[in-house]
Structure 1
Amino acid sequence: MPPSDVTEFTGHCLCGAIRFHGTYDDNHGLKACHCGQCRRWSGHVWAAILPKSMVIEGEPKWYRASDFARRGFCPTCGSSLFWQRDGSDIIDVAAGALDSPTGLRLLGHIFVADKGDYYDIADGLPQDPRE
C-alpha cells in the first residue's frame, strides 16, 4: 500500500489522562453507529475509525458491554474512547476523541433500525439497518 493511503492520528480523553496515536487506512472510512448500546455509551451517536496501528498512553478502564465486545473509557473523566470485539487485535477509536483536523468524512450509518426516535438521518449517506 502506498504511504499516501495511510493517515496518522492523535487523540485523547477530556482530561488528557489517556492519550493515543497511530495510523488508519484511508480505505476504511468513518461510519456512525446508531445501535442502542452506542447511543447510551456516547450520549447520542458513536462514530469510530478502525486503526491500522495504535499506541495507548495511560490505562483505560474496560467495561464488558456485551457477550462479544468491550468498551474502553478514561477512569478519571469518564470519556468513552474505545470499542473492541472479543478476539480482535483491532480497537475502534471514537472519532470525537481525535485531535483536529482529522480529515475524516462520514461514509455512512450502521444499525439505523435501532436509531433513536428523536432524530432523522437526512444526509443522503448509505444507511444499513444492521451492520
Structure 2
Amino acid sequence: MTSSSTGRCLCGAVTFTATPRGGMHACHCGTCRRLSGGILFSVDCGDSVAVQGTVATYASSDWATRQFCPACGTGLFWRSNAWAVTMVSAQAFDDPSAFKLEDEFCIESKPDTYALAGDRP
C-alpha cells in the first residue's frame, strides 16, 4: 500500500494522515493487551504519520512510547525510540477494512482464552 490514509480518535480532536507500509499486525504482548483490552491490531506507517491536534505521550517501555488523545483516551500510535517506526492502531483509520492481517507478534504471550483463525507467521 503506497497511498496515504486518514484517521482520527473517537472524539475527533486528533486526526492524522499516514502512508501504511503493508497490512495489519496483531500483537499479543502483555503491554498491548492491557492497553487495548485485547489484541492490539496495528499498521506500520514508518515515519509518514502527520498529526493534527495534540497527543499525550506515555513511555510504556525503554524502547517505545504510546500516544493517545488526551481528550477521549483513544490509543493511536506506538512509536519506537530507536527506529523510524510508528505503528498506528488499525481501528483508528477511517477505513480499517483496507488492511489484511499479515502476522502475529508475541504469540508466546497469548492467553489460551482466544485464537485468531487462519495461518500466518
* Structure-2 change in CA distance of 1:115 and 1:95 (3 Å): same
Gaps of 5+ in 2: none
The answer to whether the Cα contact below 8 Å between 2:90 and 2:96 also exists between their aligned partners in 1 is: no
CA distance in 1, matches of 2:52, 2:17: 9
SS in 2 for 1:6: coil
The answer to whether the Cα contact below 8 Å between 1:9 and 1:102 also exists between their aligned partners in 2 is: no
C-alpha offsets along residues 67-87 of structure 1, whole Å, 9 cap, x if unaligned?
111100110000011101113
Query: What is the percentage of aligned positions where both structures have the same residue?
Result: 38
CA distance in 2, matches of 1:111, 1:82: 18
What's the offset of the Cα at 1:104? Answer: 1.0
What's the offset of the Cα at 1:88? Answer: 2.6
C-alpha offsets along residues 54-77 of structure 1, whole Å, 9 cap, x if unaligned?
210011100010111110011000
Give the aligned partner of residue 100 of structure 2: 105
Structure 2 length-normalised TM: 0.90
2:27 to 33, 38, 45: 33
Bigger strand fraction: 1
When the two structures are aligned, how many residues end up with a matched partner?
120
**Which of structure 1's runs of 4+ aligned residues deviate more than 6 A?**
none
| Aligned residues: CA RMSD | 1.5
Q: Which amino acid letter does the alignment assign opposite residue 30 of structure 2?
A: G
